[in-house]
Amino acid sequence: MDEFMRMAIAEAQQGLAEGGIPIGSVLVKDSQLIARGHNKRVQENNPILHGEMDCLNNAGRIGSYRNTVIYSTLMPCYMCAGTIVQFKIPKVIVGESQTFSGARTFMEAHGVEVIDLNLPECVEMMQQFIQAKPDIWFEDIMEL
């Protein structure tokens, strides 16, 4: 596992420690960390503050995203995937997609390279969260 996925996992763990959903993300450009973030829907009462959205918000205006890679501990949803496509982020590396299949096909159809690492640590973190707080999870993915 590379250092950037480790950073994304640390972000997810921070979100969980704050009482939120354990999904973390980092943005990398030319092998340099640009920003990091985690899902803050619960903490900030913000329905669109998913891990990828928080990370991109923290990046601010960086001009072109064409040489970037976004890491996420979980496969991005359609909202986050739409932003990834809109910003022309060419590559997404995810920790897992077992607990949530997300919008992989959508991103790939728009030319985004998606790499799913299927990391047991990420799967276990999400499974434990979903079991402990199913109401918050199903609200997050709009499955209420």
Catalytic residue among 3, 18, 44, 52: 52
3-state secondary structure the chain: CCHHHHHHHHHHHHHHHCCCCCCEEEEEECCEEEEEEECCHHHHCCCCCCHHHHHHHHHCCCCCCCCEEEEECCCCCHHHHHHHHHCCCCEEEECCCCCCCCCHHHHHHCCCEEEECCCHHHHHHHHHHHHHCHHHHHHHCCCC
Q: Is 52 among the residues known to form the active site? A: yes
The distance of Cα 87 from the centroid of its chain, to the nearest Å, equals 15
Phi-psi region of 79 (alpha: psi -120 to 50; beta: other; left: phi over 0): alpha
- Catalytic sites, residue numbers: 52
